[in-house]
A and B are shown apart, each in its own frame.
Chain A
Amino acid sequence: MSQTPDRPFPHRHLLSLEGYSTDDVTQILDTAEAFFEVSRRAVRKVPTLRGKTVLHLFYEDSTRTRTSFELAAKRLSADTLNLSVKTSSVKKGESLNDTCRTLGAMHPDIVVIRHNASGAPHYVAQKMDARVVNAGDGMHAHPTQALLDAFTIRRNKGTLEGLKVAILGDIAHSRVARSNCRLLRLFGCDVNVVGPRTLVPRHFGEAFDVTVHDRLEPALEGADVVMALRIQQERLAEALLPSLREYNRVFGLSAERMKLAKDDAIVMHPGPMNRGVEIEPEVADGPQSVILDQVEAGVATRMAVLYVLLGQGEAPAA
């Protein structure tokens, strides 16, 4: 396990990984190791955040991220409130500003927000006193996904440094890809993104300092980590893809193609998966797959994020 310096966590919010250093990330990952152990006890709960309130504000459908955050908060003994757009006054036309003012009056300690507009978490962070965690905003960022992916990689590979990582699929619409590129480059990984040209922004390579490929083979060759991203049906309607079958034929991750990667390479997917589109079932369920590890890592990593953000509060009592 890496050693981070003893120091208070230097950030108020987790809006994106911009401004986060390797020390900051390592501090979260090390803390997550301790919480991973908590998840395997007889009583999977600790009293650490008793009396704190965590508000989950979800403007977009999400099953795994929301339940993962909720479980994380509950395992830390925090009180949790869930507000999803379908049942709230937001549906009745309340603005984000008014929602912030109303919820602010309830004095949550942390607000976890998912929003379809990039930048919404930044806006909330300015409007409310609470710490804010971005649970995915538009196509911008999904920092806890990148952190849990890093946690999963570190557990399987022992380190992040110097690994070759291939990220396949819809790069353009993926906040997961953006956050992962940022984090992995921070640790000096050789990051290779690949997808149809219509789904990779033109200047993505320069913007994130990663290598962009048109073909799968050079990205997969010798890779330590292979991440497949979800291909959304909407992309067909937008005429960005000819057909899912065509995508699968050119970019689908099959056992045959995985042979290009290292023998001990791991396969990841942020979920939910389209089996038979971006990933074949034989790979998703195969021995190299760590997809379920990612889900388990998600709870521990989000516990660590909640913990470090609340941990740099008022000056410690002697």
Chain B
Amino acid sequence: MRELMDAEAAMRTLKRVASEVVEATGGAKDLAIVGIRRGGVDVADVLAGHVGAEIDGPVPTGAIDIALYRDDAATALPDPKIGPSSIPFEVDGRDVLIVDDVLQTGRTIRAAIECLLDYGRPRRIWLAVLLDRGGRELPIAADFVGKTVDVPKGARIDVRLAEAADAKGAFVEESA
């Protein structure tokens, strides 16, 4: 397992991304932050913490599970297990920042956007990711990128930021 980014660098990066978000959204007014289960939720929490500190106020957060919106669901539902989404705020008219740990094909983001729209009509949807590894299969781009990384196509990237994680940081497993 190779380390792409240690925990300290990840935190520094997310702090920078948070500043960019605050600037781009005009002081994060009417902003809500939504993590994509499961990897995006921890990244979203850290980002929300930094954004909140910068604007000196709380930022509403939520989480979505995209299992029900997968574009391969009709042919196979490989993991029937799903977690509930939780959007505990009014979506209509808000700026919503979708957050994921790793951006690759863009299919997850497509599903997340569709899911979010079922909660209401946001004024604008933004996208922030900790790592962009390329390999897009849909015309989707992130508004905020922590770091662009170059890893082999089949490799697995594992981002661990949760308090409970024993080794924090972003790791890549090349054997896969």
A residues with a Cβ closer than 8 A to B are: 4, 6, 8-9, 27, 30-31, 33-34, 36-38, 41-43, 45-52, 307-308, 310-317
Contacts and interface: CB of A to CB of B under 8 A. Distances in A.
Given A37-B85, A43-B119, A317 B76 contact: yes
Contacts of B77: 48, 307, 310-313, 316
Interface string B43-83: 00000000000000000000001011110111111111111
A75 to B, nearest CB: 10
Given A37-B86, A38-B68, A315 B118 contact: no
- Which DSSP category, helix, strand, loop or mixed, fits chain B's interface? loop
A37 B83 CA distance: 10
Contacts, number: 81
A317 to B, nearest CB: 6
B119 A4 contact: no
Contacts of A31: 80-82
Contact of B114 (A47, A52, A317): A47
A49 B87 CA distance: 23
B152 interface: no
Contact of A48 (B68, B81, B86): B68
B85 to A, nearest CB: 6
B26 interface: no
A119 B152 CA distance: 54
Nearest to A316: B78
B109 to A, nearest CB: 16
A6 B65 CA distance: 15
Given A41-B119, A43-B118, A27 B74 contact: no
Given A41-B118, A42-B119, A49 B74 contact: yes
A313 B76 contact: yes
Contacts of A313: 75-77
B68 A308 contact: no
B80 A307 contact: yes
B10 to A, nearest CB: 26
A308 B118 contact: no
Most interface-central of B72, B81, B83 (chain A CB within 10 A): B81
B135 interface: no
A87 B129 CA distance: 55
Contacts of A46: 68-69, 115, 118
